[in-house]
Structure 1
Amino acid sequence: MDLAASWQCFQYLNIRGRDYTCGDAQLSPLLMFGAQRGLIRFYNVLTLLLMNTHSLLNQSLINELLLEAQASPRLRKNRNFHVGDDAQCHRLANALQVDSYVHPHRHMNEHKAESMLMLAGELGVLIFDEAGQVIAKHHLKAGGEEYGINIEAKTFHAVVALTPCVFFEAKAGPYVPVAANELATWAPKADEAASVEYLAWMRSQFV
């Protein structure tokens, strides 16, 4: 089935979940069970593909993200504008609260440069050498003289929220979690007590 036919089948299944056919497509009970389990995910993806024509970045979105970040254990939250993790171009709004710790890291994939543009608040960006020495630091501020940055692949970096902030981020997909060998060994892990002191030190670079 093509995408339009899949959408029609989804609508049919959503209304008449007990039936196993949709047009010319034959659905076995097993497939039906799988379709029902993935109903919400299937709906979200197809809605983005077939119904959405655009998304706004506005003050309402910023306020929502900051509230969601405040309620998150990691004190950060993102809103994706790409369809899924396999998308070739990832575009997202990322909100950080002041005590959110981002472990210094780098992306070894040569295609994983990332660009950030401030939408609200202030963000400190630290660039490190291989030994963990700061070689550059930038104070980004929405509407300020410096309001964005591009960080090349294989560059150790970290960000620290100087105020509650939101920035737009773009980078190549698909999504791949940061690997253990991409995390800086000279910085504490997020679940270590020393991360609190290290975060305070990173923030002090912008005082």
Structure 2
Amino acid sequence: MKHIDSALLDSLIEKAKTSPRRRAHHNLHPELNDPVQRLCIAMEPGTYVRPHRHADPETWEVLLILRGSLALNIFDEKGTVIERTVLKESGPVRAIEFPRNTWHAPVSLEPGTVVFEIKQGPYKPIEEKNLASWAPIEGEPAAEKFLEWYRTSKVGDVAPPTL
């Protein structure tokens, strides 16, 4: 039996705090080729997840907040925010499911944020064509500026230039 308990969440949060990427993962699925990927992700403020999409026809994704809060922006092809949902452990929204081909990226809004992610497997690294060309690559100096914009963006806002 696998459990997601306070000890696991506390451990993940501590790992994320000391990680250069400001996040840490714990897989519940036994292998990367499992047909359903299930994992806890601790995300500290300052972690940058480049906007991306999952284009495989069978792919969907669910995020469920376990601790803290995060914003999830949905973008159009050009980087305009078309939907923004805040997930909080105290509600009112605690989970979101989005279909394939949806440009999206989460941003942690407070320390100690942990989400449970469920998506169609097997695991496949995201191809370059499914990473937003209008957003900086993780580790680039522009990523920090983009992340700051992302934390406060609203529906209708357009991603800032990455140059």
TM (norm. structure 2) is 0.91
Is it true that 1:149 corresponds to 2:149 in the alignment?
no
Q: Percent identity?
A: 38
2 CA distance for matches of 1:92 and 1:183? 21
Q: For 1:13-162, what aligned pairs fall within 5 Å after superposition?
A: 54-162=1-109
2 CA distance for matches of 1:127 and 1:89? 23
Q: CA deviation at 1:126?
A: 0.2
Larger fraction in strand: 2
1:72-113 residue CA offsets vs partner (Å, 9 max, x unmatched): 121111111111101111111111010000000001112221
Residue of structure 2 in register with 1:31 after alignment: none
Q: For 1:155-194, what aligned pairs fall within 5 Å after superposition?
A: 155-164=102-111, 165-194=113-142
Q: CA deviation at 1:147?
A: 0.7
Residue of structure 2 in register with 1:204 after alignment: 152
2 CA distance for matches of 1:71 and 1:125? 24
1:148-168 residue CA offsets vs partner (Å, 9 max, x unmatched): 100111010010000120011
Specify every segment of 5 or more residues in structure 2 that has no aligned partner in the other structure, as ranges.
155-163
Moved segments of 4+, more than 4 Å: none
Letter in 2 for 1:166: V
2 CA distance for matches of 1:111 and 1:143? 31
Q: CA deviation at 1:57?
A: 1.0
Q: CA deviation at 1:133?
A: 0.3
Q: CA deviation at 1:205?
A: 2.3
Letter in 1 for 2:40: A
Letter in 1 for 2:76: D
Letter in 1 for 2:64: L
SS in 2 for 1:92: strand
1:125-175 residue CA offsets vs partner (Å, 9 max, x unmatched): 000001110000011101210111001110100100001200111011111
2 CA distance for matches of 1:198 and 1:110? 29
Specify every segment of 5 or more residues in structure 1 that has no aligned partner in the other structure, as ranges.
1-53
The Cα RMSD (Å) is: 1.0
1 CA distance for matches of 2:115 and 2:29? 16
Larger fraction in helix: 1
Residue of structure 2 in register with 1:17 after alignment: none
Q: Higher relative contact order by CA 8 Å / sep ≥ 6: 1 or 2?
A: 2
2 CA distance for matches of 1:113 and 1:152? 5
